[in-house]
Amino acid sequence: MIIDHLDEPLPGSSLLPTPSGVAYTDPEIFSREQSEIFEKLWNCVMRADSLSSAGEWKTVTIGREEIIVVRSRKKGIRAYFNVCAHRGMRVCTSGEGKNKTLQCGYHAWTYALEGDLAAAPNLTSMPDVDRQDYGLKPVHVREWLGYVWVCLAEEPPNFDEAVLGEVRTRFGEVESIDNYGIENLKLGESKTYDVAANWKLIIENFMECYHCATIHPELTEVIPEFADGLASQRMNGEVHGSEFGEEIKGFTVDGSASGFEELPRIAPDQDRKYYAITVKPQVFINTVPDHVIIHRMFPVSESRTTVVCDWLFLPEVIERDLPIEKSVELFHRVNQQDFEACEQTQPSMSSKAYSGGGALVPSEHHISEFHAWWSSQVAVSEHQTKVTV
């Protein structure tokens, strides 16, 4: 099977093929994914309000690069490669901190929060050293939905097309997501999952609900149509929200009322409904009437992925310490159920029995669009043989 033909049905059936198992296990393919996908596209890395005052910084790994994200004094949030311009030591050697400047621990080159080289031992005796040329190498930054998004490419893809375009495809227009006012919501809970599975298995799982009746008893109780295997992400190309069951009072683990207000600006067709969007390559946005759940994925290796899941609520829910546990527990269980399924799938990706790949049933056919996108990103000619079995 050749990955170029992922969108053609398997002979004599309603099934579409998946990539071969090697696509999920080969370090070389993973390395291509890092260079061609994660190091070239926009990645959602952290909450903007997690850097609340000037000088606060955090590091994050994107592809094979470590990035410093810092709130500067004059230019908002900035991001840099964590590489000293002198002889390359990591400038920030822990995960987070707060400093007036960023100083390398090797020979004490010191960078302003805006990235320029501010000081170095004997720098005055080297007047030819340009402070910008020998500053920290910047990375493109955008803020959207209250999150910091970075792109490591010299020429980043147009954010409106690449990122907002995914929302347009899902919702028909970007304004529908504006109704949730996500940028003004506050973090109620964040959980980090270390998942022993390839990142593509996690995306594929998120895009379909064929598995929902089998592994998500609580979710299918709240959203009965999921028991029929229909994902909310794509219904014949139409914008479709998945409706709560008649007896259901809220998007909680037992379907009881959440105990707090709905988001004030949602439209009537967003009430009592769940919507999900995949923003390739590493973000899932889930909306319900009274909160929003956002997943960020950070692939670690071909068989390991870190997933950070945030639950966002109206500020008064957090300030008044209203109970969010029942709401958080529903998607936490969904996450655990999904990630366990992905972890039980990963070992089979290197089995002889899966060397020809698997199959997508009709309710999963939209996943082949993801496969076609993936293939177009990574499958250049010298690699074709590697993914042809």
Using CB under 5 A as the criterion, which residues of the chain lie in contact with Fe ion when the complex forms? 338
Q: Does 41 bind ligand FES (CB under 6 A)?
A: no
Interface pattern 63-102 for ligand FES (x via CB under 6 A): ---------------------x-xxxx-------------
The least distance separating ligand FES from the CB of residue 37, rounded to whole angstroms, comes to 30
Residues 109, 134: Cα–Cα separation, whole Å: 10
- Residue 87, binding choice from ligand FES, Fe ion, none, Cβ under 5 to 8 Å by partner class: ligand FES
23 binds, among Fe ion, ligand FES, none (CB under 5 to 8 A by kind): none
- CB of 99: closest distance to ligand FES in angstroms? 15
Residue 213's binding partner, choosing from Fe ion, ligand FES, none, with beta-carbon cut-off 5 to 8 A by kind? none
Contacts of 13 (CB under 8 A, 6+ apart): 359
Contact 313, 324 (CB under 8 A): yes
**What whole-number distance in Å separates Cα of residue 151 and Cα of residue 1?**
33
Q: Which is nearer to ligand FES, 106 or 373 (CB)?
A: 106
Provide the pairing of β-strand 138-144 with 16-17. Answer: unpaired
Instruction: In whole angstroms, give the CA distance from residue 24 to residue 200.
Output: 7
Residue 188's nearest CA partner among 104, 309, 269 is 309
Angstrom distance (rounded) from CA 233 to CA 331: 17
Candidate residues 104, 263, 324, 341; the one interacting with ligand FES per rule CB under 6 A: 104
Residues 272-301 that bind ligand FES (CB under 6 A): none
CB of 296 to ligand FES, least distance (A): 30
Number of helical H runs and strand E runs in the chain: 11, 18
Tokens for 356, please give them: 């020809």
101 vs 344 by CB, closer to ligand FES: 101
Q: Quick one: what does residue 84 bind among Fe ion, ligand FES, none, with the CB cut-off 5 to 8 Å set by partner type?
A: ligand FES
Q: Which of 109, 275, 284, 370 binds ligand FES (CB under 6 A)?
A: 109
Q: With respect to ligand FES, which residue has the nearer C-beta, 87 or 265?
A: 87
> In the structure encoding, which two tokens stand for residue 99, read together?
């400093």
148 versus 209: smaller Cβ distance to Fe ion: 209
Shortest approach of ligand FES to residue 91 CB, angstroms? 7
Beta bridge partners of 58: 69, 96
Residue 163 in 3-state DSSP? coil
User: Closest Cα partner for 5 from 349, 330, 388?
Assistant: 388
Q: What gap in Å lies between CA 151 and CA 164, rounded to an integer?
A: 15
Residue with the CB atom nearest Fe ion in the bound state? 338
338 binds, among ligand FES, Fe ion, none (CB under 5 to 8 A by kind): Fe ion
Binding partner of 86, given ligand FES, Fe ion, none, CB within 5-8 angstroms per partner class: ligand FES
CB 309 within 8 A of CB 191: yes
Centroid of chain to Cα 281 = 6
Q: Between residues 92 and 219, which has the closer beta carbon with respect to ligand FES?
A: 92
Integer Cα distance of 181 and 314 in angstroms: 9
Q: Which is nearer to ligand FES, 122 or 385 (CB)?
A: 122
Given candidates 75, 106, 192, 267, which one binds ligand FES under the rule CB under 6 A?
A: 106
Interface residues with ligand FES (CB under 6 A)? 84, 86-89, 104, 106-109
